[in-house]
Amino acid sequence: MPPSAAAEPGGASDGSGSRPAIETRSLTKRFGEVAAVDDLSLRVPRGSVYGFLGPNGSGKTTTIRMLLGLVHPTAGDHDILGYPMPARQRDALPRVGSLVEGPAFHPYLSGTANLQRLDAADAHASAATSAARIRSALERVGLGAAAGKRYRAYSLGMKQRLAIAAALLAPRDLLILDEPTNGLDPQGTREVRHLVSALVNDGMTILISSHLLSEIEQICSHIGVMRAGRLVAQGPIHEVQSTQQATVVVRTPDPGRCAQLLREGGLGAVQVTGDVVTGVPSAATLALPEDLVARLVAGQVRVRGFQVETPSLEDFYVSLTGEGFDVRA
């Protein structure tokens, strides 16, 4: 599916809630000869959990750093929460929480004390409301009961949830999490997933990057897939899934005749491997696969097995990204 770059009709660049939470237009970043991010048109709708996927080195972190104004793009531009960046970053960025390189926490201090240190360093945060803000952020990530415990005694999942609490010390409309499940055990990954689901139910938009589809696909409403700096697929997850090519697989002792009938029935890329015949059906064939079986049987093909196989989203992701290895290596 081609990446979508369409602007919302009638939307004004004024932080209006009708604009996407994130919209980039041909965003590009070069480091010397390397195009770390190349002509990227990302669109993250409000209220979505957007899975930003791609192997290591595909350009996710560089994109996120550009979104947050930490790196200047070589070309292209973008809006955050409807505000053009960087011109209106003072309006946009206070509404954005991020976890890019996790904050450095002190191992011998409690969760509360660690957040106090971070909150005190924020020039925009009011000291008068600090305690309430910290309590609320810890409650929100499910660390209320462990607030007084030392950081070093936290599990990996708790540590990551504390990092997310740090990003939630101010009210946010958008949360950007760069590989928040990286290095976590399965339990920690589950904790982060549950937290993201809870936050999005509160009305937040969340962009979450990962190199593993399986870790985040259950919670994403949308995905964007990066490969070597380019966005190779984007959209609602069920739409991306439905664009995948199905294959008809017939097992028969009459493969030659079967292949001929499949071709005549309008299937493409028909191939014979031993007693297995495969072909790519049209949408019309897929709607009534039983008619195809009837046609084979009427044509004297003895059918031992018939299946319509659709690749999983994981197969699709691997086909786009190249097995998840560093595609630049």
Ligand X SMILES: Nc1ncnc2c1ncn2[C@@H]1O[C@H](COP(=O)(O)OP(=O)(O)OP(=O)(O)O)[C@@H](O)[C@H]1O
Query: Which residues contact ligand X by CB under 6 A?
Result: 31, 34, 36, 54, 56-62, 179, 211, 328
**Closest separation between CB of residue 31 and ligand X, Å?**
3
**Closest separation between CB of residue 32 and ligand X, Å?**
7
DSSP secondary structure of 126-175 = -GGGHHHHHHHHHHHTT-STTTTSBGGGS-HHHHHHHHHHHHTSS--SEE
Residue (199 or 226) nearer to ligand X, CB: 226
**Closest separation between CB of residue 71 and ligand X, Å?**
8
Residue (24 or 252) nearer to ligand X, CB: 24
Residue (30 or 140) nearer to ligand X, CB: 30
**Closest separation between CB of residue 240 and ligand X, Å?**
19
Assess contact for 281 and 248: CB atoms under 8 A.
Answer: yes
Assess contact for 181 and 213: CB atoms under 8 A.
Answer: no
Assess contact for 92 and 80: CB atoms under 8 A.
Answer: yes
CA 193 – CA 39 distance, rounded (Å): 30
Helices 130-140 and 111-120: crossing angle, nearest 10°? 130
Residue (64 or 80) nearer to ligand X, CB: 64
CA 136 to chain centre: 27
CA 257 – CA 278 distance, rounded (Å): 13
CA 77 – CA 181 distance, rounded (Å): 29
**Closest separation between CB of residue 177 and ligand X, Å?**
13
**Closest separation between CB of residue 326 and ligand X, Å?**
7
Burial of 30 (0-12, 13-18, 19+ CB in 10 A): middle
Residue (31 or 108) nearer to ligand X, CB: 31
Identify the residue whose tokens are 């595609």.
327
**Closest separation between CB of residue 65 and ligand X, Å?**
8
Strand order in the sheet with 96-99: 96-99, 174-178, 205-210, 49-53, 222-227, 230-236
Angle of CA points 21, 82, 239, to nearest 5°:
35
| Length of the chain measured in residues | 329
**Closest separation between CB of residue 163 and ligand X, Å?**
16
Residue (58 or 252) nearer to ligand X, CB: 58
Residue (54 or 255) nearer to ligand X, CB: 54
Tokens of 210: 């990962």
Residue (38 or 119) nearer to ligand X, CB: 38
CA 318 to chain centre: 14
